[in-house]
Structure 1
Amino acid sequence: MTDPKMMAQMVGGAGFIAALDQSGGSTPKALAAYGIGEDAWNSEEEMFALIHQMRSRIVTAPSFSGQKVLGAILFEKTMEGDADGKPVPQLLWERGVVPFLKVDKGLEEETDGVQMMKPMPELDAMCQRAKSKGVFGTKMRSVIHEANADGIARNVDQQFQFARQIIANGLVPIVEPEVSLKSATREQADRLVLEHILRNLDALPDGERVMLKLSLPVEDDLYAPLVAHPRVIRVVALSGGYERDEANAKLSRNRGMIASFSRALLQDLRADMNDEEFDKALGSAIDSIYAASVCNG
């Protein structure tokens, strides 16, 4: 059973979800943007230690709290680690931020215009470990490159198959079939994503609910039927490569959607900032993303 206070916050809270879940492939880029080059580590273990330091600094900053940040998506190593002497999920919830865990293991090669998720044979065990640490939900990402109806149907179906398994483990899944901003057929792909998500939502048994994390659509308010669907807890938007100002502007035109930004949240943070400068930059980003998330309700 999910925590009722966490569920109430995700259903009705004002704010957004921070995406702090960069994994192996995206960690070097995240560190580079933070001002730490690849010459700063000699092993994967050292690299992950550096990104954990960055994330710990974020989640312990004064501006990072449940007043504006509803939830935070964590990488597995971050969930297993400590910040300020406490397990990260515990620290987050003490600050009013609902913890989520990224559970996917990366992407398959592109076929039929989409990249499916790799198999997750240890998903049940990971979900139970996350529950034991106080995690509320999960997130898993697949990618859509072309408006291929068969490919998108398979992509979305796979997301919901794993979502049912996650629900059975007592967690709330965030389903994320991302439409690439580089797609030449983005508008058509958006519509196919809507069609196949609605089909899968309507097939969910009574009492089963999901969250959705979607690319900001070409057509404003395209996902309004998902925002209103009784089996959807919340629809959140990924920044997908947009700079923060553009992502905020697009988000503000999509009623009922809130942000779940990663790069757009962290883009102004640098390792060499002192604590006051760091919190000021983070707080400014949080304020702007919060404003875009609550102005369109």
Structure 2
Amino acid sequence: MNMVQLERMKNDKGFIAALDQSGGSTPKALGLYGIAKETYTDESEMIQLMHEMRSRIMESPAFTKERILAAILFEKTMDLKVAGKYSADYLWENKGILSILKVDKGLLDLQDGVQLMKPIPKLDELLVRAKDRHIFGTKMRSVIKEANEVGIKAIVDQQFEIGAVISAAGFIPILEPEVDIHTPNKEVAEAILKKELIEHLKNLDPTYQVMLKVTIPDIDNFYEELMNYPNVVRVVALSGGYPREEANEKLKKNHNLIASFSRALTEGLNVNQSDEAFNHMLDQSIQSIYEASI
């Protein structure tokens, strides 16, 4: 564990940029960026176009450590280069920004009102590669769609179980039990989730440190209690499909909850923009999310 990076994540101001769109969400992300499906012929070409978009964001003068703590990367991004360096090395050496690796392989079908993570084959091998690529932490996502106690308990159990493996390998895992913003009785689902998270945190080995990534709650400061546990490095929030302005307004009402936005970060960026227009739009987005996070 890089203690300089850990202290930065614990104490510095800023937010996390989520640049980890995977195979399923990449076509939509590219479409919003102005690249239609008809313009690429296969997955490798699609991934290359996505990496060019991510590289343009990472290399932008707006993308700085003063406002951004870390970037979440897709697995293939970890193995690709930005300005001649592997992505994580570029981010840390050139920008002072930490790298976090998305490790989940997607979601299972809905059961008990939730979508658990699919099995993660060869996780140990992936973590060895991540260490070689100088990755700081990991992220894995599950989704809650109903206020179902059995399902939510299963999600939290799975997140902490896999997180323990990741922690033992020397990384800070981000556990992401997302509550879908369209969940009926969302407040009830969030109450069940917080209860399960606290049960795990109360009994956690003190050497096992985690970050938690949650949907912005309906009740302001609802997750503030989680921030007081010594095992919790940081609690961050996903935008969940809210437009950037709405996500920012909701985030501002939650003290010490910082952003880990994806769609809200890249909203308004377009492949056909000049560098000046692109950097200006990105700078405005980053500033608004930063202000909401502090």
> With structure 2 as the length reference, what TM-score do the two structures score?
0.99
**2:116 corresponds to 1:89:** no
Q: Give the Cα separation in 1 of the matches to 2:206 and 2:92.
A: 29
Query: In structure 1, what is the equivalent of residue 176 of structure 2?
Result: 176
Pairwise mapping of residues 32-181 of structure 1 onto structure 2 (< 5 A)?
Answer: 32-94=31-93, 95-181=95-181
Q: Give the Cα separation in 2 of the matches to 1:259 and 1:227.
A: 15
Q: How much has 1:86 moved relative to structure 2?
A: 1.0
Q: How much has 1:227 moved relative to structure 2?
A: 1.5
SS of the residue aligned with 2:253? coil
Code of the aligned partner of 1:130? A
Asked if the contact 2:214–2:238 (Cα under 8 Å) also holds between the matched residues in 1, the reply is yes
Deviations 1:53-74 (A, max 9, x none): 0001000101101110000000
Q: How much has 1:18 moved relative to structure 2?
A: 0.2
Query: In structure 2, what is the equivalent of residue 229 of structure 1?
Result: 229
**2:242 corresponds to 1:242:** yes
Q: Give the Cα separation in 1 of the matches to 2:132 and 2:221.
A: 38
Q: How much has 1:207 moved relative to structure 2?
A: 1.9
Q: Give the Cα separation in 2 of the matches to 1:23 and 1:139.
A: 13
Asked if the contact 2:116–2:143 (Cα under 8 Å) also holds between the matched residues in 1, the reply is yes
Q: Give the Cα separation in 2 of the matches to 1:85 and 1:280.
A: 25
Asked if the contact 2:175–2:211 (Cα under 8 Å) also holds between the matched residues in 1, the reply is yes
Q: Give the Cα separation in 2 of the matches to 1:45 and 1:259.
A: 30
Q: How much has 1:209 moved relative to structure 2?
A: 0.9
Code of the aligned partner of 1:173? P
Q: Give the Cα separation in 2 of the matches to 1:18 and 1:135.
A: 15
Code of the aligned partner of 1:63? A
Q: Give the Cα separation in 2 of the matches to 1:33 and 1:124.
A: 34
SS of the residue aligned with 1:111? coil
> With structure 1 as the length reference, what TM-score do the two structures score?
0.98
Code of the aligned partner of 1:4? M
Query: In structure 2, what is the equivalent of residue 280 of structure 1?
Result: 280
Q: Give the Cα separation in 1 of the matches to 2:238 and 2:221.
A: 15
Q: Give the Cα separation in 2 of the matches to 1:115 and 1:149.
A: 13
SS of the residue aligned with 1:251? helix
SS of the residue aligned with 1:167? helix
Q: How much has 1:30 moved relative to structure 2?
A: 0.2
Q: Give the Cα separation in 1 of the matches to 2:151 and 2:8.
A: 35
Query: In structure 1, what is the equivalent of residue 9 of structure 2?
Result: 10
Q: How much has 1:124 moved relative to structure 2?
A: 1.1
Q: Which runs of 5+ in 1 are unaligned?
A: none
Q: Give the Cα separation in 1 of the matches to 2:274 and 2:131.
A: 35
Deviations 1:6-27 (A, max 9, x none): 1011000100000000000000
SS of the residue aligned with 2:69? strand
Q: Give the Cα separation in 1 of the matches to 2:31 and 2:203.
A: 43
**2:199 corresponds to 1:213:** no
Asked if the contact 2:206–2:230 (Cα under 8 Å) also holds between the matched residues in 1, the reply is no
Q: Give the Cα separation in 1 of the matches to 2:192 and 2:27.
A: 33
Identity, in percent, stands at 49
Query: In structure 2, what is the equivalent of residue 197 of structure 1?
Result: 197
Q: How much has 1:230 moved relative to structure 2?
A: 1.3
Q: Which runs of 5+ in 2 are unaligned?
A: none
Q: Give the Cα separation in 2 of the matches to 1:206 and 1:175.
A: 17
Q: How much has 1:121 moved relative to structure 2?
A: 2.3
Q: Report runs of 4+ in structure 1 exceeding 4 Å deviation.
A: none
Q: Give the Cα separation in 2 of the matches to 1:80 and 1:185.
A: 41
Q: Give the Cα separation in 2 of the matches to 1:5 and 1:186.
A: 38
Aligned residues: CA RMSD? 0.6
